[in-house]
Amino acid sequence: MLSKNNLKKTAMLIVVAAAFAACKKDNVQPEETPTAAAKEFKYVRLLTADETSNKLTLIDPSTAAVSSFDAKFPLANLYATSSGRYASVLYGAQNLVEVFDSGLASHVDHVDVLNNPKWASITATGIKPTHFKT
């Protein structure tokens, strides 16, 4: 009876040892792939207008870079074009529209950096020169 009991204990010890020996000993954690919503995109530029000064501020969130550009008047209304490359800068009280170029051209699968952000050479004047639809 004693040897039968020892045989069971030995068999159980071998089974437990084999189970632990068979475990994968990888300490490397698998790299998590971020979802599209969780990614911070490199090619984002945010343009803001000041209410009291003639400054437009361009913020690049990925690099924390902040640039200022001289506008014609304060309190501009900003509208992005459908491509996202240009911003229409509207001065309603002055009957003037200017265009600002972000320098980024968005395609389906990538973004091209075409140039540095700058004023485009397009302007429009006249009595209420805009009917902007976004």
pLDDT bin (cut points 50, 70, 90) of residue 44 is confident
Report the first-to-last Cα separation within the chain, whole angstroms: 88
Residue-wise pLDDT tens digits, 59-116: 988 888 999 999 999 999 999 988 889 999 999 889 999 999 999 988 888 888 899 9
Q: Residue 97: is it exposed, middle or buried by C-beta count within 10 angstroms (0-12/13-18/19+)?
A: buried
Whether the Cβ atoms of residue 104 and residue 84 lie closer than 8 Å to each other: yes
Residue 90: which H helix or E strand, with range? strand 86-91
Is the predicted pLDDT of residue 56 greater than 90, yes or no? Answer: yes
Region 38-52 average pLDDT: 82
Closest CA to 134 of 84, 60, 95: 84
pLDDT bin (cut points 50, 70, 90) of residue 47 is very high
Region 125-134 average pLDDT: 72
pLDDT bin (cut points 50, 70, 90) of residue 133 is low
The encoded tokens of residue 105 equal 């051209």
Residue 105: which H helix or E strand, with range? strand 104-106
